[in-house]
Amino acid sequence: MSDQLRDRKIAILATDGVEQIEYEEPRKAVEAAGATATLVSIKDDEIQAMHGDLDQGDRFPVEAAVVNLAAEDFDALILPGGTINPDRLRTDPHAVDFVRAFAEAGKPIGAICHGPWTLVEAGVLTGRTVTGYPSIRTDLENAGAVVVDREVVTDRGLVTSRNPGDLPAFCSKIIEEFTEGRHPVPAAH
């Protein structure tokens, strides 16, 4: 255990359908680095995790409802994947506003697999270099992002990865970026 992220508060935004390993591994990593992680959701009771979108995993208690929170309550954000999870999040205005607020404040964000779909809906990818699961890459490009195929990509505090196989690199990089903190937000043209 280290204290790189001591006194840092990390929101993990997820709902039913979250890919279990993409929730659990980043949470373990940031907590092992000293952060306090909070499972934030559009629900207020518990969420159903999945393995590969098809097999039910564990249920996890929601620690805070997104409707009651603001980006100012946290230092960084994690967006795990699973196909169903971000598809539901991107239809919830509170979740989308929450994500947009992190990006607009220049706070670090980690998004893996299908997790970047919520960033698409938040309209915060223009000019950013990202990666994601192959089936969402066209969506990322259509949202104005430059899409590459690498295990982890960092662009001014935004960390993205493609799939659960990238979790070691993703977890390492989010700890690095979350330690650095805020990144300047380029002025709008």
Q: Which residue has the tokens 């598809």?
A: 87
* Of residues 129, 90, 105, 67, the one with CA closest to residue 184: 105
Tell me if residue 113 is catalytic.
Answer: yes
Residues in the chain: 189
Tell me if residue 171 is catalytic.
Answer: no
The active-site residue, picked from 114, 171, 183, 189, is: 114
Structure tokens at 131: 């990666």
Structure tokens at 41: 């959701």
* Of residues 55, 57, 73, the one with CA closest to residue 65: 73
The active-site residue, picked from 51, 113, 171, 189, is: 113
Secondary structure (3-state) at 78: strand
Residues acting as catalytic residues: 113-114
